[in-house]
Amino acid sequence: MKKLQLTLILILIFFTPLVFSYRAKVIDDRVKAEEASIIAAQTPYDYQHACSVLTEASGRTIPRQFLESLEKQTVDEMVAQAEQGISPVTINGETLNVMFSRFTGEIDGKTVFDLGSNGNSYFELGFGGDINFTPDEYIMPHAQTFVNGVLDCIDPEFREAMKAVDIMMLNNEFTYSKRGTPTPNKQFTFRADPSSVKYLNLLDVDIVSLANNHTYDYGSDAFQDTLEALDNAAIARVGAGSNLEEANRSVSYIINGCKVAYLAASRAENLRLTPLATEKSEGVCSCYGDSEEFIENIKKAAVRNDYVVVYVHWGTEYSTELQSSQKELARKYIDAGADAVIGAHPHILQGMEFYNGKPIVYSLGNFLFNTKTLDSGMAVLRIENGGIGLRFIPGRQINSELKYVKIETERKILFNRLISISPAPIEIDSEGNVTPAENNKQ
């Protein structure tokens, strides 16, 4: 018993100082932490450094007021990502561009739309070529024989694909109006009843390009009616407007925490009968000549958005041979910040290629435009983990309808035709996925 007591006494003699020492250290650490917290609270946060780092990383001016609206821990995380070269800077699933759009209140449902999340790790952007709803000719006499009009002229596979993508875009190559007179000395002029804009809604079209050579076919009144018809139908538009600022303006969508911009421009006319927008007059956004102004538009959009898609009206009608300017400008647009270039105007398919890993679709041809029998289709961009994939859904405009090419041998013939007219080697698998050929990957 005495030995046990002695052992306990020795244990107490040995460990008691250790316990008191540890307790003292804990108290000391707590005091130091509280003092550090007080000092930190009294020390002004270095917003200037944070603004500088994030401005340099993003290419856009990041104001102090924006950062002050956030938790300091969030700002620290943003700065850390920027200093590590992580791009885009992303917090809680939203990029810096999206966060800034929320701060500025620019999400207005007119030029910036918030689509939220689609629940997937990717989102898809769909594109078709030219459409024409002129009532007394081309596709419409045939469409009017169906219960559902234009809808019944488009195969279910395409309608399902248009609905499945997150954002769908077409080239609106006519005017919506009951007013105006045809442009003098113009061979083809197109005008549709404003009520036909309903077909865009029914086809799940979200946005159209007006940067083409038929938007102004019936003069100023019809042009303004067109803008109004699209706005009333909640169809976004790019590439034309009541003045240069509106014509140059991009439309952006926020989806899955990313911000995607659309721009459009035209260089389709040798004899320019369609007016080009100026600071004080209406018209289309142009990319004639060296396209410097449009390139500046792309650069501006690139610093305010995470992805930029450019839709261009160019090329030679009914020719698969590319103009040298198409290839040259497509690369310049990508160098300026575009992530994809989509073309229209030739009314037929032209080739595809990749430049610096970014897809270029030189012409999607007619989506549903006239009575000719022509290869057609729909391009789908899938954006996932910062990468952009391209898929082509094959079709054929025939008998004033858009038919889906489902027979494997016919699909292969169409794909091989696309490969043969493309300016650089590409591959298209049986599902329509387009990639650079193995020996041409950049």
| Per-residue pLDDT tens over the stretch 92-114 | 999 999 999 999 999 999 999 99
The per-residue pLDDT for range 376-408, each reduced to its tens digit, is: 999 999 999 999 999 999 999 999 999 999 999
CB atoms within 10 A of CB 55: 14
Q: Which amino acid is at 70?
A: L
- Over residues 331-352, mean pLDDT: 98
Q: Are 366 and 336 in contact (CB under 8 A)?
A: no
Q: Give 206-216 pLDDT, tens digit per residue.
A: 999 999 999 99
Q: Which domains does the chain have, with CATH numbers?
A: 47-104 (no CATH), 112-440 (3.60.21.10)
Average pLDDT over residues 292-296: 98
Where does the pLDDT of residue 40 fall: very low under 50, low under 70, confident under 90, or very high at 90 and above? very low
Least confident of 9-13, 81-85, 351-355: 9-13
pTM: 0.90
User: Is the CB of residue 112 less than 8 Å from the CB of residue 330?
Assistant: no
